A and B are shown apart, each in its own frame.
Chain A
Amino acid sequence: MTTLPNPIRDWFDRRGWEMHPHQREMLARAGAPCQLLIAPTGGGKTLAGFLPTLAELAEDPAPGLHTLYISPLKALAADIRRNLMTPIEETGLPIRVEDRTGDTPSSRKKRQRADPPHILLTTPESLALLTSYEDAPRIFAGLQRIVVDEIHALAESKRGDQLMLALARLSALRPGLRRVGLSATVEDPAAIARLLARHPDPCEIVEADPGPAPDIAMLDTEASPPWSGGGAAYSIPAVLEEVRRHRTTLIFHNTRAQAEIFFHNLWLANEEALPIGIHHGSLDRGQREKVEAAMVRGELRAIVCTGSLDLGIDWGDVDLVIQIGAPKNVKRLVQRIGRANHRYNAPSKARLVPANRFEVVECVAALEAVRAHDLDGEPRGPGPRDVLCQHILIAACAGPFDADTLFAEMTTAGAYAGLDRGAFDSCLDFCATGGYALRAYDQWQRLKQRPDGLWQLRDPRSAPRIRQNIGTIQDTDTLKVRWRGRGGAPLGEIEEGFAASLTQGDTFLIGGQIVRYEGLRELTVEVSRDAARKPKIATFNGTKFATSTQLSQRILRMFRQENWPELPQHTADWLALQREVSRLPRPDRLLIESFPHDGREQLVVYGFAGRNAQQTLGLLLTKRMEEEGLAPMGFVSTDYATLIWGLDAVTDPRPLFDLARLEAGLETWLAGNAVMKRTFRASATIAGLIERQVGGQRKSGRQATMSSDILYDTLLKYDPDHLLMRITHEEAMRGLVDFDRIREMCARVGDRVDLLRLSRVTPLAAPLFLEPGRVPIAGRADERLLEEEVTRLLDESGLAQIEA
């Protein structure tokens, strides 16, 4: 189809619109089995995806599901529905559009299954759930097209793998199904195309005009950024001034805690009471919706937000984006910048605000990369098998299945095209029996093979439990926060670990308010209002972005300069000071600093190997230190350094950095580690070994669920080759370990390791002390500390005398 049907063309004409060239191209080639559109925000991307659907339905509005639209965000699905209703209502086309997400009432969900709309807008998780129903073939009977929005965001995570396995199922039900992907600017469109297309179908790539270059710069501030910290409070006056001068400003933060603190400080300084809201994933849904609605009505001048607003909700009049804190990743920065100004062919405007001086360097490096169109990205490996296990269970929920057919179906998903039969069979065995070396309790296996060879659930009670566990997003255990009193309004949620650290009277920030912890009641945190100005800070588990390799390299190159005219004076002075009291890291040497601080011995290793490799380095070094009796207590890593704290100082680093010994012990060292346990927990949950704790089930949680750490330890001891242990290893190697970069670092620095013993924290080390994500090391330090504490308690309580 090359032309629009009359009602739609008339609608375009009435608005004085012309189709963009990429919209025309998408329409002309709408019969292709797979299309990928790369376009900047504001380029009419969503409409480009929907025009063929509207055109086809205008010609033949037969009832039944025609197009599935998948978005990574629930809010986006709802927003797109509102936007689609405009052309549909104004053209008078009899097209039914509905959304279906976790928030949709169950009565409407039921009706949608019986009588699906023409266009259904949903998320990967809700789609996976739909495919798990026995009536899936009937629901999807008329399906023609699938539109995957923001596919660049999905492609980076297991949500994308899950979605593609669900699409494989749909293509099996509907062989002629056409796929369309909509993506922001990315470094490797072909990789996304391979992920999207039904293997081995080709995928056509349409690239829209990227539009004018953005107007980006550092934000001018009167005050200098501090030595360390993530609050960026120094920038408040300058940020407020920008808010005043623009219609609507989005103020992005990298973590929820930082967003809360910044929002709080912004309001303390907001003398004109400019309407400014806050939006992040830990806030109560009702609160978030209120902010979104106010934003759409144009009532807010600014929103302090996190990645929760990264994706394409149309906020209308945003004309400035401010990024607080280092952007960490050039591609994400470019995409965030695109949030400002949704008018096509107008430059987006963005300002960067480094939170501390190290981030000044990173921001300048990132600006250079944006100007050079030098996007970063790491290729993704083959499809993860924990997601595969989940999909085998989903298939079993939908009805008895044939293993050969399911294997053939799953290998049509791009990421799983190379899956071999043995790997599939081990996943099936895991789903069926647990796949343990010890065969016990076969009478209770989860899937059973029938005499006719088909596999089915042994116990129908499994199905709801499996459905409840669908998804690949890892929530940390969180607790709801409410105002104290009967029917107290919900505020949001905080991590269980943070809640556990609170005692009555402690204050923290949530939704921009300082609240006082009153107590825990039926797994809800009860709070009251508090007039304090300084809260105890909430440790929300905000997304941590890893600084890309490419940015790290740019920074190291900058350090080699004699002076830094491109940096603000304060930052140049700071680097010069580091050079004076210690040294600046160099690409060809490894700088290690050692100093006492906070009652502990600190060791800083400037490997510039990227967060993951630095994390691994932390693991390996602490293990080595444990062996050397140096009682390490824990470590934290950033993209450029690892900070290790412990009871004793390191005086000779050479035995610690023997690469051969590091590598030889890698496997054993990893095995007992907290990072591996964390990886195991994620994979075991996705694969269905551990069940997510949902809502009301929490109360009986202690009985129904098992500590993932204990399961890990048991498998390590009795069944170390178990599928999940292999998956955990694979995942860790892929994501968290990144040992290649340690090898690369060791090759780069050779034996040129410089240990500097200093009396205090150095300028470059200071920011490390505020990094979240500290990994504790369970070892000798525990016993030593415990001994101290026991002695103290005995002395204090007088028990020492009694028991002697």
Chain B
Amino acid sequence: MNTQGFRFHGAALRALPSGALHWPDEALLVVSDLHLGKAARLSARGGAALPPYETRETLLRLEADLSATAARRVICLGDSFDAPGLDAVLPAADREAIARLQAGRDWTWIAGNHDPAPVTLGGTQAAEAWLGPLVFRHIATDDARGEVSGHYHPKARLRLRGRLLSRACFLLDDRRLILPAYGAYTGGLRTDDRTLCALMAEDARAILTGPSPAMIPMPRG
């Protein structure tokens, strides 16, 4: 697996092709915005029944990353479920798959705006988590320092010899690190969006996901 290594507040981190963050020294894997059960939420409101496979797809990706990194700790940075209560109605096979991933691992569900209520599955629930110099929460705060968050689903768009290419990406500056969405059915917010431009420092960088994660200056349109 190609990864992009970088240092953030003293921690040696690796961005994985899938959009997960690996911290080898702590045997930690961080993923954000899984949005499990998204198909269900959209169907529930009178829309079409969408293919109910996104949870399986997301969990398979997570399983692959966990076995590749041999991580013992997992932090899900919020919006793990697309709506409160969805964890309880996931197909049995998906619930079992989550339980298998959790077995023998220290697992933390950070609350997100989509899933503020505690979940019915195993693992710890928290509004934020601290580990060494880093703090993990769902949404970036104004006075961040060593903050790892998600929420925005950042994606970068590049023009390559007349072709537009869009990739989910990490965003990184001296104070904060924002993870891309990990879930299978999730869209993205372009890095040239006003909100992201205001949030990130002038010299912010983006790490593109995909087969060969790479760090570039944050595209600002």
Q: Is A769 an interface residue (CB 8 A)?
A: no
Min distance, Cβ B36 to any Cβ of chain A, angstroms = 12
Is the CB–CB distance between B46 and A782 below 8 Å?
no
Is the CB–CB distance between B163 and A790 below 8 Å?
no
Q: Is A776 an interface residue (CB 8 A)?
A: yes
Is the CB–CB distance between B163 and A436 below 8 Å?
no
Is the CB–CB distance between A799 and B53 below 8 Å?
no
Is the CB–CB distance between B48 and A714 below 8 Å?
no
Min distance, Cβ B11 to any Cβ of chain A, angstroms = 16
Find the B residue at minimum CB distance from A389. Answer: B48
Is the CB–CB distance between A710 and B49 below 8 Å?
no
Is the CB–CB distance between B52 and A434 below 8 Å?
yes
Question: Which of B65-73, B96-104, B121-129, B206-214 lies at the binding interface?
Answer: B206-214
Question: Which of B26-34, B37-45, B131-139, B141-149 lies at the binding interface?
Answer: B37-45
Q: Is B6 an interface residue (CB 8 A)?
A: yes
Q: A440-B91, A793-B217 are in contact. Are A691 and B47 (CB under 8 A)?
A: yes
Chain A contacts for B8, CB-based, 8 A: none
Min distance, Cβ A684 to any Cβ of chain B, angstroms = 9
| A-B CB pair tally, cutoff 8 Å | 137
Is the CB–CB distance between A500 and B164 below 8 Å?
yes
Is the CB–CB distance between A633 and B163 below 8 Å?
yes
Q: Is B198 an interface residue (CB 8 A)?
A: no
Is the CB–CB distance between B185 and A710 below 8 Å?
yes
Find the A residue at minimum CB distance from B38. Answer: A706
Q: Is A441 an interface residue (CB 8 A)?
A: yes
Q: Mark B143-186, 1 if CB is under 8 A from A, else 0.
A: 00000000000000110110111000000000000000000110
Find the A residue at minimum CB distance from B7. Answer: A803
Is the CB–CB distance between A438 and B48 below 8 Å?
no
Is the CB–CB distance between A436 and B161 below 8 Å?
no
Q: Is B89 an interface residue (CB 8 A)?
A: yes
Min distance, Cβ B60 to any Cβ of chain A, angstroms = 10
Q: A717-B57, A785-B163, A786-B158 are in contact. Are A440 and B217 (CB under 8 A)?
A: no
Is the CB–CB distance between B187 and A691 below 8 Å?
no
Size range of the chain B interface in the assembly: 35 or more
Find the B residue at minimum CB distance from A443. Answer: B89
Is the CB–CB distance between A715 and B51 below 8 Å?
yes
Q: A702-B187, A706-B42 are in contact. Are A797 and B49 (CB under 8 A)?
A: no
Min distance, Cβ B2 to any Cβ of chain A, angstroms = 10
Chain B contacts for A633, CB-based, 8 A: 161, 163
Chain A contacts for B39, CB-based, 8 A: 440-441
Chain A contacts for B46, CB-based, 8 A: 446, 457-462, 465
Other-chain contact of B57, A433, A441, A714 (Cβ < 8 Å): A714
Q: Is A501 an interface residue (CB 8 A)?
A: yes
Min distance, Cβ A100 to any Cβ of chain B, angstroms = 26
Min distance, Cβ A136 to any Cβ of chain B, angstroms = 21
Q: Is B205 an interface residue (CB 8 A)?
A: yes
Is the CB–CB distance between A786 and B51 below 8 Å?
no
Chain B contacts for A786, CB-based, 8 A: 158, 160, 165, 208, 210, 212, 214
Is the CB–CB distance between B50 and A711 below 8 Å?
yes
Q: A443-B89, A803-B215 are in contact. Are A438 and B52 (CB under 8 A)?
A: yes
B interface with A by C-beta (< 8 Å): 6, 38-40, 42-54, 56-57, 89, 91, 157-158, 160-161, 163-165, 184-185, 187, 189, 205, 208, 210-212, 214-217, 221
Q: A718-B53, A793-B216 are in contact. List 15 more A-B contacts (CB 8 A).
A: A446-B47, A446-B49, A459-B46, A462-B47, A497-B164, A633-B161, A707-B187, A710-B185, A714-B53, A714-B54, A786-B160, A786-B210, A793-B217, A794-B215, A803-B215
Query: Can you list 16 contacts pairing A with B, beta carbon distance less than 8 Å?
Result: A438-B52, A441-B89, A443-B89, A445-B43, A459-B45, A460-B46, A465-B47, A503-B221, A689-B50, A711-B51, A714-B53, A717-B53, A782-B160, A789-B160, A790-B215, A799-B215
What are the nearest 3 A-B pairs in CB distance?
Answer: A434-B49, A461-B46, A440-B52
